[in-house]
Amino acid sequence: MSRFVQVALALALALPLAAYVLGTVMAADPAPADHQPIILEQAAEPTPSPEPSKPPRTKKPKPSPGQDGGDDDEPEVVEPRYVEQDDDDWDDDDDDDD
């Protein structure tokens, strides 16, 4: 073999092996260092501030059950149901009796 082929073969084996070893060494976690424990203390109660005066709230009219309420806070409930599928649902051909 020529010298170039020998060097290329050595690099092809050595570079991935060196990358694996270096990655393994760098990923190893050192032991956790000793640290002071965290102590939670009761915070001093804040002094009460005067509450700003709030304008009176007006009640919004509730929509009747048949009307769409617009921005409802409650999610729409959708109940799952079984839908029968046959082999023709996934192809572009006309529906046949399968």
What pLDDT does residue 1 have? 83
DSSP 8-state secondary structure symbol assigned to residue 86: -
**14-73: per-residue pLDDT in tens?**
999 999 999 988 888 776 677 788 888 877 776 666 666 666 666 666 666 665 555 668
Q: Which residue has the higher pLDDT, 42 or 89?
A: 42
Question: Running DSSP on this structure, what letter comes out for residue 74?
Answer: S
- Nearest CA among 71, 13, 28, 64 for reference residue 5: 13
Check if the beta carbon of residue 78 is closer than 8 Å to that of residue 86.
no
